[in-house]
Amino acid sequence: MKEDIHPRYRPVVFDDVSAAVSWLMRSTIATHATTTWEDGREYPSAKVEVSSESQPCSSGRMKIVDTAGRVERFARRSGRDATKGRR
């Protein structure tokens, strides 16, 4: 391999913030944060919002997201009726 053209491939701790689950795997992701893993060593850390533990199709658990309030606010700002989708 040529020197200095490939990203650094190293162990990284990924934290699923929705499911409070962490796992250690090798990756080329660039991170600035670090965390101490179960083996006592410090590794780079990356936070993810969705993984197989928190994704509804994989886990069987639905996560309710309040989009109704957002739709109503958008409709008010644009002068539309939120129930009909018209002005």
The greatest distance separating any two alpha carbons of the chain, rounded to the nearest whole angstrom, comes to 62
User: Could you tell me if residue 3 is inside a domain?
Assistant: no
In this prediction, residue 51 carries a pLDDT of 80
Q: Which domain holds residue 63?
A: 10-78
User: Could you tell me if residue 87 is inside a domain?
Assistant: no
pLDDT tens, residue by residue, 9-46: 999 999 988 888 899 999 999 999 999 999 999 999 99
User: Could you tell me if residue 84 is inside a domain?
Assistant: no
User: Could you tell me if residue 66 is inside a domain?
Assistant: yes
User: Could you tell me if residue 16 is inside a domain?
Assistant: yes
8 has a pLDDT exceeding 60? yes
Amino acid present at 73? R
Domains identified in the chain, total number: 1
In this prediction, residue 10 carries a pLDDT of 93
User: Could you tell me if residue 29 is inside a domain?
Assistant: yes
pLDDT tens, residue by residue, 37-87: 999 999 999 998 888 777 666 545 555 555 567 777 778 888 766 556 555
- The Cα–Cα gap between 45 and 37 comes to 10
Whether 48 contacts 18, CB under 8 Å: no
Exposure on the CB side of residue 62, measured as CA atoms within 13 A: 3
User: Could you tell me if residue 4 is inside a domain?
Assistant: no
Instruction: Output the pTM of the full model.
Output: 0.58
